[in-house]
Structure 1
Amino acid sequence: MSSGGNDNAGAAQRWRESIMQTYGTPPVELVSGSGCEVTDVEGHTYLDLLGGIAVNVLGHAHPAVTRAVSEQIATLGHVSNFYSHEPELRLAERLLTLIGAPDNGRVFFCNSGSEANEAAFKIARRTGRPGVVAASEGFHGRTMGALALTGQPTKREPFEPLPSGVEHVPFGDTAALEAAVNEETAAIVLEPVQGEAGIVIPPEGYLRSAREIADRAGALLILDEVQTGIGRTGHWFAFQREGVLPDVLTLAKGLGGGLPLGACVGIGEAAAMLNPGQHATTFGGNPVCCAAALAVLDTIESEQLLRHGAGLGEELVTMIERLGHPLVAEVRGAGMLIAVELNEKLASVVVETARQRGYLLNPVRPDAVRLAPPLVLERQQAQRFVRDLGEVLSEALAMSTGGEEGTR
């Protein structure tokens, strides 16, 4: 095995020789970060507008998270699920209060969004009904149960047969949802905004309709807020925008502020459907991760980041639209979760061009670029990105056509 060089190319070589090829080879090795900026092994600095895929809501090395993690790991690092500890208890209570279910909700802590959705799937099975209705193009994780819920055939097909009973209907189509739900339906599983599908926002009132459809059928409403929760859309949770309350809520990503932490929250009858011995995870509710999450929630509240993220996210959408660039077909946004849809399948080219200019983005679809920056993104940083975005788009377009216009 080669040791490679101490640069990005060397890191790529070491990756190919030692890491399973499930992601492709990363173009850079990051070594440090502060706020919304990260630095690679060669000393190049980037404005991180992906935030670890909507994870680093407070950016990198935030003092509150750093302090909380350092103090907790020096006190109590891990206890398993045989014992309780204060950070876990406080975090569960805090989440239930923020959700609006302090008296009739219960939390199961885990390590990721996939695990949170696996727990939710198990809760649905405990109803005794065989069917689940989810959305086409929805994404709920890569484990087998979460993958069955995922409405993207290319991700599912290599691993079939998957758990049965899941039907997918078009996202945002109330009539299709109502037609699919019946007395055999255990649960409706939806994202309030489809993240991996390209930041797809449903029509106003869709979640309210889903709540009503679930109630009429006696089914559970399960909302996957792994990507949209913890302030990402300008609310603590995206469902709050429509004034509904799910029976089950799944969380991860931003919850741990960079540490692996997920949660499946049951509300009402769903809070008591899993009994002792029916579900568990060794690392779930780890004291260090819970301490980090408490610091995240405290900081979002004290620094008024819900309002900041909602406002700056709206400004970003407007500024990108005002570029009037011929490559941009549409800009969609919900708080700090934004997609720039392109007229051509050049997302990877745009992302690579942006990286060379010092910006980290994500080609969420071949024709769409995703932004999920930290909630602490500064207005000046957003404005600097938009100023450069026009040239990035022009250069990507010129590269695709072989022209010179827009290059430098």
Structure 2
Amino acid sequence: MSAADATGIPGREPSPPWSSRDVQFDHYGGQRLPFGCTGASGIIQHFVELSGSDAGRAFDVLDASGGYGSACLGAGSEVIAAALSDGVRNAGYVTDEIASSERSLLLERLFAPGGLFADRFPAADYRVSGRNSGSEGMELALRLVLESRFDHRRLRAAPGTGERDVVLAFEGAWHGWTGGLLPLMNRRHYRIGLPAIAPEPFGFRTDHIPFGDLDAAREWFDRNGERVLAVVVEPVQGDAGILVPEPGYLRELAALAKDSGALLVADEVLTFAKTGQFFGMTDESGPIPTDITVIGKSLGMGALSTSMVIARRELGARPTGTVSTSDLRPLTCAVIRAGLDHIVSEGLVERSGKLGAELGRLLHEQVVAKFPDLYVEARGVGVMHGVELTDLAAARIGKLRTSMIRNGVYVEFMSGAGRRSRGLRYVNATMRVAPPLVATADDIETIVARLAAGSHALLQETP
């Protein structure tokens, strides 16, 4: 591919190889962004205009999204490049039927005594499985929940579990869009017209309550008690608009689940390594206990799509019922181990907590306060922040995003929690500002300045 092909010619439509616009499935209903990417370095993405009078114009943007929250080390990490190269040459590709030295090194590093996650998930109490994506990880978590009430030999409900047929989820939650996960979402747009979970005797129903409302949770458990099979929760609601619960909420929710005999499933696919801690299920008292935790996105270091399901040892499934081609393949393990070791040695998670506090302050002062016609509030923790849009901005969300990009910053927009029960206010679409862990203090300042410039530019446009 020549440079001319990559950037196009000013004033003309770019020539091939931008065939991805014709051949790749359009997931966005014809609303894909009119830009191409010709490369990246660190958190800088090299973009080019694909249409209009500026077609072919090359420019750089700062990435404040981390590639749907997955590229925690940005682009071009030498550590990950070396791990990929060494892994391809030396690690092999055996499945989990055969023990792998690379897999063993990773799991020992994480779960053996003194391991990175051992204080939360000691190997004596937990086991681990790998999957291709966060959605697949959540599917396995749901499978483990359902099989916990099933007698595999007699093909019937296990003694004492027959009445457990209710799963508690939360308004605005997002756990993936695979078929088995649809019941966990209360979003009609994604569910209508698609199959539901099979009816009784082995189905379940999902109830949804507002996230972060302790009174709602207490009342719900008082009503449902012994019928509760599981609680599925994000420590910070991502797609709902980066909703952070009040201190103490998650720990009491865990206690309610335990007292009722329900399993607690933590969806940490998005929050992993982004909240100033590796795990969002943490408070001032330390780790909040869970029965199943799913981590992903940052786990693949922006180079691989992968996830881990960490579950109590007593949870399992019928033989071969959870076999996966991608279950902790050696190459994946090599990348994860190298990336996590680098994150720890550089103190990137701890640093992100401090940078995140500054990011939150700057977003409030330089974006929300200065553009009240566009933004309602800023909220977040660590490097996960959301700036909620006003009705005016939500109606122009496409133009707002292109304005941000043309002013040099790449952000994503979340759906928002929408209409919630118990009199809680409607939560609009929200701009997610979640830069990679490698972002510096200077990067944070520049990102916010460019968000302000993009906001100003939008207001100058004719509606």
- TM-score, normalised to structure 1, is 0.91
1:337 to 365, 373, 384: 384
* Residues 139 and 181 in structure 2, CA contact (< 8 A), matched pair in contact too: yes
Query: How many Å separate the matches in 1 of 2:167 and 2:144?
Result: 11
List per-residue Cα deviations over 1:23-72 (Å, max 9, x = no partner).
45343232322111122365422211101111011111111111111100
1:79 to 87, 94, 105: 94
* Residues 130 and 186 in structure 1, CA contact (< 8 A), matched pair in contact too: yes
Structure-2 residue corresponding to 1:375: 437
Question: Is it true that 1:45 corresponds to 2:49 in the alignment?
Answer: no
Structure-2 residue corresponding to 1:171: 211
Query: How many Å separate the matches in 1 of 2:334 and 2:16?
Result: 32
* Residues 6 and 38 in structure 2, CA contact (< 8 A), matched pair in contact too: no
> Structure 1 residues 298, 396: CA separation in 2 closer, same or farther (over 3 Å shift)?
same
Question: Is it true that 1:262 corresponds to 2:262 in the alignment?
Answer: no
Supply the AA of the counterpart residue of 2:132. Answer: N
Query: How many Å separate the matches in 2 of 1:188 and 1:289?
Result: 30
What's the CA shift for 1:260?
1.2
List per-residue Cα deviations over 1:204-244 (Å, max 9, x = no partner).
21111111111111111100000001x21100101123531
Structure-2 residue corresponding to 1:124: 145
Greater Cα radius of gyration, structure 1 or 2: 2
> Structure 1 residues 11, 122: CA separation in 2 closer, same or farther (over 3 Å shift)?
farther
Query: How many Å separate the matches in 1 of 2:407 and 2:354?
Result: 26
> Structure 1 residues 241, 125: CA separation in 2 closer, same or farther (over 3 Å shift)?
same
Supply the AA of the counterpart residue of 1:14. Answer: S
> Structure 1 residues 91, 150: CA separation in 2 closer, same or farther (over 3 Å shift)?
farther
> Structure 1 residues 154, 277: CA separation in 2 closer, same or farther (over 3 Å shift)?
same
Structure-2 residue corresponding to 1:146: 181
* Residues 354 and 392 in structure 1, CA contact (< 8 A), matched pair in contact too: yes
List per-residue Cα deviations over 1:267-313 (Å, max 9, x = no partner).
3533xx23531212112212222111111211111001112111111
Query: How many Å separate the matches in 1 of 2:229 and 2:109?
Result: 28
What's the CA shift for 1:154?
1.6
Structure 1 gaps, min length 5: 403-408
Supply the AA of the counterpart residue of 2:231. Answer: I
Query: How many Å separate the matches in 1 of 2:308 and 2:43?
Result: 26
Which structure carries more helix by proportion?
A: 1
Supply the AA of the counterpart residue of 1:98. Answer: L
Query: How many Å separate the matches in 1 of 2:237 and 2:190?
Result: 16
1:311 to 347, 350, 354: 354
What is the number of residues matched between the two proteins? 395
- TM-score, normalised to structure 2, is 0.80
* Residues 175 and 184 in structure 2, CA contact (< 8 A), matched pair in contact too: yes
> Structure 1 residues 90, 165: CA separation in 2 closer, same or farther (over 3 Å shift)?
farther
Query: How many Å separate the matches in 1 of 2:413 and 2:121?
Result: 37
> Structure 1 residues 298, 157: CA separation in 2 closer, same or farther (over 3 Å shift)?
same
Query: How many Å separate the matches in 2 of 1:44 and 1:84?
Result: 48
Question: Is it true that 1:112 corresponds to 2:133 in the alignment?
Answer: yes
Supply the AA of the counterpart residue of 2:430. Answer: A
Supply the AA of the counterpart residue of 2:179. Answer: M
Query: How many Å separate the matches in 2 of 1:152 and 1:162?
Result: 16
Query: How many Å separate the matches in 2 of 1:11 and 1:202?
Result: 48
The CA RMSD measured in Å over matched residues stands at 2.2
- Residues 23-38 of structure 1: pairs in structure 2 closer than 5 A: 23=28, 24-38=31-45
Query: How many Å separate the matches in 1 of 2:16 and 2:99?
Result: 41
SS at match of 1:29: strand
Supply the AA of the counterpart residue of 1:35. Answer: G
Supply the AA of the counterpart residue of 1:266. Answer: A
SS at match of 1:393: helix
Query: How many Å separate the matches in 1 of 2:5 and 2:357?
Result: 43
SS at match of 2:35: coil
> Structure 1 residues 214, 367: CA separation in 2 closer, same or farther (over 3 Å shift)?
closer
> Structure 1 residues 151, 48: CA separation in 2 closer, same or farther (over 3 Å shift)?
same
* Residues 309 and 336 in structure 1, CA contact (< 8 A), matched pair in contact too: yes
Structure-2 residue corresponding to 1:349: 399
Structure-2 residue corresponding to 1:180: 220
Q: Percent identity?
A: 30
List per-residue Cα deviations over 1:106-127 (Å, max 9, x = no partner).
0011110001101110111022
Query: How many Å separate the matches in 1 of 2:450 and 2:295?
Result: 34
Supply the AA of the counterpart residue of 2:450. Answer: D
Structure-2 residue corresponding to 1:391: 453
Structure 2 gaps, min length 5: 9-13, 49-55, 150-163, 199-203, 416-427
* Residues 261 and 290 in structure 1, CA contact (< 8 A), matched pair in contact too: no
List per-residue Cα deviations over 1:9-31 (Å, max 9, x = no partner).
55696234212222453432323
SS at match of 2:116: helix
